[in-house]
Structure 1
């Protein structure tokens, strides 16, 4: 059954991770990050910093390639935090399904809230770091500019507040 599920997922070509930003979307499939922005062709960034626009590889200086590697890594960091949150939700649902007593339920709730907050803090910091790299790419790689507004300009603190308010 697991093999069938994996085959179905692979057949659908489902992305490993997708982030919809203010002005576009970043999708991570395997080791290729694709940037989607209206009125611009798709761009891809490989794990080694390769950068293509509309399927055409662009020449890069070592510093530019390094920034693209950091950008790619930033997206994978956010994906890891999001995956951790999803796994935590599943684990919490399973734990509550066992119908713990009131004291155990409160401890479990406190643990879940604490871990979710820790993951949110890490993800928000990753997003702020990624925005910094995105801004550097905008300045140093002219071909990146159409894709340079996907991640929002907000501080990690604002991100945490936004997420805390969503969970109230």
Structure 2
């Protein structure tokens, strides 16, 4: 039963994603990002750079729309890293369970599995921190170029990759 549950977790691809940042939260439902910040209406962002606040479209120039598309893609990149970490952990759990149920359970094999998971998780964390740093750069450009984006411009923190790795 436990093996089946672990396998189901590995196969599961969650369509929704949520990221709680410094001063707000981003949720992804389907292909629509929603920016949540206390005290202001929610804003939505589509994959083609369309930006709405409280259901009303914000007029955009082509370069602004391009920046919003970069922002959207940045959130998608972070989502992929987070899903990758979950899948790596679930796969390691399945492998560890199989190893423990085997009559020839090997401590060296367990250590190898632990080391592999640790290495994968570290690489995914590093990539996620780099993606956050890239997204912060785009977020800062959006604040400077789209006045309506300013209230949503502190969701991703301005921390170094080293600080991010320590926090994660």
TM-score (norm 1): 0.87
Partner of 2:54: 54
Q: What is the root-mean-square deviation of aligned Cα atoms in Å?
A: 1.1
Dislocated runs of 4+, deviation >6 Å? none
1:138-157 equivalent positions in 2, closer than 5 A: 138-157=143-162
Deviations along 1:97-154, one digit per CA (max 9) or x if unpaired, are 1114111111111100000000000000000100110000000000000000000110
SS of equivalent to 1:27: strand
TM-score (norm 2): 0.87
Partner of 2:44: 44
SS of equivalent to 1:34: strand
**Aligned pair count?**
150
C-alpha separation in 2, matches of 1:162 and 1:24: 18
C-alpha separation in 1, matches of 2:42 and 2:151: 10
SS of equivalent to 2:124: helix
Specify every segment of 5 or more residues in structure 2 that has no aligned partner in the other structure, as ranges. Answer: 1-13
Return the offset for 1:53: 0.4
C-alpha separation in 1, matches of 2:166 and 2:58: 39
Return the offset for 1:41: 0.3
Is 1:125 matched up with 2:130?
yes
CA 1:15–1:36 in 2, change beyond 3 Å: closer, same or farther?
A: farther
Partner of 2:4: none
SS of equivalent to 2:59: coil
The structure, 1 or 2, with the larger RCO (C-alpha pairs under 8 Å, 6+ apart) is 2
Alignment counterpart, residue 158 of structure 1, candidates 156, 163, 166: 163
